[in-house]
Amino acid sequence: MAETGTAPGATPVARPPALAVGPLGWLRTNLFSSWGNTLLTLLILWGLWRVVPPLFDWLVTSSLVNVASSQECRGAGGACWAFVAEKWRFIIFGTYPADEQWRPSLAVALIIGMMLFSTWRGAWRPWLGLVWLGGTAVVLALLWGGFLGMTYVSNELWGGLPLTLLLTVIGLGAAFPLAVLLALGRRSDLPAVKAICVGFIELVRGVPLISILFMASVMFPLFMPAGVTVDKLLRAQIGLILFAAAYQAEVVRGGLQAIPKGQYEAADSLGLSYWQKMRKIILPQALALVIPPMVNTFISFLKDTSLVIIIGLFDLLSAAKAALTDPAWRGFYKEAYLFAGLIYFFFCFFMSRYSQRLEVELNRSRRR
Amino acid sequence: MTGVQHQAPDTQVAIELRGVNKWYGEFHVLRNIDLTVHRGERIVICGPSGSGKSTMIRCINRLEEHQQGRIVVDGVELTSNLKDIDAVRRDVGMVFQSFNLFPHLTVLENCTLAPIWVKKMPKAEAERVAMRYLERVRIPEQANKYPGQLSGGQQQRVAIARSLCMSPKIMLFDEPTSALDPEMVKEVLDTMVSLAQEGMTMLCVTHEMGFARQVADRVIFMDRGEIVEQAPPQEFFANPRSERTRLFLSQILGH
C-alpha cells in the first residue's frame, strides 16, 4: 500500500465513484441501466425461478437410477435414469451382438482417437489422409470381423454410435475434397467443367436429403442390371457424401470469392501453375476464412446422418427410438432422447470449440 | 499477316509490341500500341488514369489478354499457348500497386515459394537466395514476420525482393508507390533506383517524375489508350511536343 501512495505534491489519484465499478457497478450497467432493462432482468429472473428448480428436481432430486422394475419409475415424478442404465448398450451399439460389443467400442475409440490426433497441426501432412484411410479400414474390419477368431457381423446389424460416427467421418472425409473440386470447377473457365459442377450442386441442393436417401435406397437398384446389388449402407453413405459435398462446395466457393484478385495475379505473375496457385496461395487462405460456415455444415451433417432411419439403418437416434419399443420400458421418451442428444451434443460441441481455436490460430498471420 | 517470316529475333530486343489493340467490351482501352524495349532499357510510363498504361504492362505478362496485334517478350510470342505464357512469366517480374504479398506466408516464405515450386530450387538454396535479396532491399531482419506486421514501404520492398528471387530478365512496376504513405515512397524508389543502376530492364508506370528524370532512358506518355509521345526525360520534360502532354505535365508538376 505504501508503494502506491501519491508522491507529495502530485495530483491525488482520483477514484471512480463506487457505483461505477465493482459488482454493483457491473449490475447497474448491465442489468439495471434503464427501466426497460430492469423490467427484462426481473422477467428473466422470474422465468429462471419457474424453470430451473423443477428441472433440477426432475433431473436429479426425484430421479430414479436403481429400480427393481420399470414399474417403480412409472409413478415417480422424476427422470427414470434406470431406463438409460438398462438400455445404454442398446442405444450405443444398436443390434450389434452383445458378446462382441468390445469391437464397436474399440472402433469408436479409434475414430475418436483419430479425430483428436487430427486436431494437432503438426499432423497436417499428406500422410494424415493415409492415417484416416488405414484407420477407417481397421474400423470397418473390426466391425465386420470374420478373421482372427472374430465372428462375422453383417452390416445389417451395425448400429448406434459407431454407425453414426462412421457415416459422419467417411461422409465428411470424402465430401470435403469433392467439395473443393466442385467449388474450383464452378469457378473454372472451362464451360463444360463449370456446367457440370453448377448442375450437380444446384440439383443436389435443390432436393431434400430424405429424397436423396430414398433415391439411393429404393430407386438406385432399379437402374442396376439384374443381379448387381450394392450394399444398402454403402448406397446411403454415397448419398450422404454427395449431399454434403454440394453444400460444402458453396461454402468453399464463398471463401474463394473472398480472396482478392491481386492474390491470383501475384501467383500468376510468379509463374505458378493453376494447381500450385490454388494449393499454395488461394485455398489455404480461402479455407481458413470459411471455417465457421464449414463447421456449421459439419455439425449439421453429423445430425443429418440420423435421417438414415428412414431407409432402415439403425444409427444412434434410431437405436434410442428402438430402445423404447421394449414393452417393459415404453414411454420413457425424454430420457432416451436426452441421452442420445447428450452424445450428439458432445461431438458437436467438440467440433465447435475446436473450430474456434483453429480460427484464431490460422488467422494469426492476418493480425496487424 | 502475309505469312512473311520475320528475321531472326533481335537479341537486343527485350519486349516488342506491334499494333496491339484491346477492348473492354465496347471500350477501346489500347489503340494500335507499337513499342520496342531494348535490353537494359528503363522506361517510365505516365498518363492520366484510364489511359491504358497499367493495362499495357499487364498485357506483357498476360495478366490481361490483348485481342489484336503481336506481343513478343524475350523472343516468345504471347498467344493462348499456356507453356509460352508460363515461360514469359518466369522471366518477367511484376510489382503491384497493392503489393499483393501472400498474407498467410512469412516474408521468407513469400520469397521462396516460386523458386521452390516453379524453378524446383532446393529449399535451402531458395532461402539463401531470398535472404540475399531481402538484404538488398534492406529488410533481412523481417524475414520471419508476416506481411501484415510490416509497413507499406516494407511490404513493397518485400514484393520487389519476391520478384527478384525468380531472377527475372524484365521487371514491370505498376504504380508501385501510389498506395504508400508519403514518407515511405522514398525507400521504395531508392530500391528501384539501385535496381535500375544494375542494368535491369524496367517498365514502370508511375507519376514519380523525379524518378523518371533520375533513371529513365525514355518516358512514355499515354492518353486514351494511345502512346502519345515518347522521348528521353530531358527532352520530354523540357519540350513536350503534344498539347496533351503539356497539359498533363502542367497538372502534375504545376503545384
Residues A145 and A269 in one domain: no
A276 contacts B118? CB cut-off 8 A: yes
Spell out which residues of chain A touch residue B86, defining contact as CB-CB under 8 Å.
Answer: 271, 273
Mean pLDDT of A304-314: 85
Q: What is the pLDDT of residue A67?
A: 79
Same domain, A259 and A114: no
Please give the share of chain B, as a percent, with pLDDT higher than 90.
Answer: 80
pLDDT digits 0-9 by tens, A160-181: 898 899 999 999 989 999 999 9
Residue where a domain stops, chosen among A132, A153, A174: A153
| Contact (CB<8Å) B89/A271 | yes
Is residue A5 domain-resident?
Answer: no
Smallest CA–CA distance from B170 into chain A, residue: A269
pLDDT tens, residue by residue, B190-232? 999 999 998 899 999 998 999 999 999 999 999 999 999 999 9
pLDDT at A360: 85
In a domain, A44, yes or no: no
Confidence of residue B68 (pLDDT cuts 50, 70, 90): very high
Q: Are A126 and A229 within one domain? A: no
Residue B2 pLDDT: 43
List the alpha helices (DSSP H) in chain A: 22-30, 35-56, 70-75, 81-93, 102-118, 126-144, 160-186, 191-205, 209-214, 220-223, 232-258, 261-269, 274-276, 283-289, 291-304, 316-323, 333-362
More confident residue, A318 or B55: B55
Q: Write down the mean pLDDT value for chain A.
A: 86
Q: How far apart are CA B150 and CA B119, in angstroms?
A: 27
Is the separation of the CB atoms in B174 and B163 below 8 Å? Answer: no
Q: Report pLDDT for A8.
A: 59
A190 and A300, same structural domain? yes
- Choose one of A118, A153, A188: the last residue of a domain: A153
A269 touching chain B per CB within 8 A? yes
| B61 min Cα distance to partner chain A (Å) | 7
Interface test with A, best of B55, B90, B106, B117 (most A CBs within 10 A): B117
Q: What is the CATH number of the domain that holds A292?
A: 1.10.3720.10
DSSP state of B25: T
Nearest CA-CA distance, residue B221 and chain A, Å: 25
Share of chain A above pLDDT 70, in %: 94
Of A280, A284, A365, the CB nearest to B146: A365
Domain check: are A141 and A219 in the same one?
no
**Among B63, B103, B117, beta carbon nearest to A269:** B63
Q: Which residues of B touch A366 (CB under 8 A)?
A: 103-104, 146, 148
pLDDT for position B6? 47
The letter for the amino acid at A256 is L
For residue B62, the model assigns a pLDDT of 93
Which structural domain range is residue A139 located in?
Answer: 98-153
Average pLDDT for A76-97: 84
Contacts of residue A95, defined as CB under 8 A and 6 or more positions apart, other chains included, come to: A157, A158, A159, A314, A319
Q: Which pLDDT does position A365 carry in this prediction?
A: 57
Distance set, CA B238 to CA A356, B207, B235, B248 (Å)? 62, 17, 5, 13
| pLDDT for res A30 | 82
Q: Is B102 in Cβ contact with A271 (below 8 Å)? A: no
Interface test with A, best of B89, B102, B118, B173 (most A CBs within 10 A): B102
Whether A1 shows a pLDDT value over 80: the answer reads no
Between B62, B96, B117, which is nearest A262 by CB? B96
Q: What's the pLDDT score for residue B8?
A: 47
**Pairwise CA distance, residues A112 & A125, whole Å:** 19
Mean pLDDT value across chain B: 91
Of A262, A269, A280, the CB nearest to B98: A262
Domain final position from A120, A153, A186: A153
A142 and A167 within one domain = no
Total-model pTM: 0.83
Nearest C-alpha in B relative to A364: B104
How high is the pLDDT of residue A2? 46
pLDDT of residue B59: 94
3-class secondary structure, A162: helix
Number of structural domains found in chain A: 2
